[in-house]
Amino acid sequence: MAQDVLCEVNSCKYWGPGNKCHAKSIYVVSHKGKKAANSEETDCKTFEPKI
């Protein structure tokens, strides 16, 4: 399992210094349930906006 998850989405509440994700777990899905061929065809469902 990955020890460090990097993320550049600083509008997410789990984003931290050094572009580290501080979520307890990460949930990534492919677009519309299709088999993803590259990263552009995936979405992070863990994202929550900063309040």
The pLDDT, as a whole number, for residue 49 is 97
For residue 50, the model assigns a pLDDT of 95
Q: Which pair of structure tokens corresponds to residue 36? A: 């993803």
Model confidence over 1-51: pLDDT tens digits?
A: 778 999 999 999 999 999 999 999 999 999 877 899 999 999 999 999 998
Q: Give how far Cα 13 sits from Cα of 9, 30, 38, 48, Å.
A: 9, 22, 25, 6
What pLDDT sits at residue 17? Answer: 96
Which amino acid, residue 7?
Answer: C
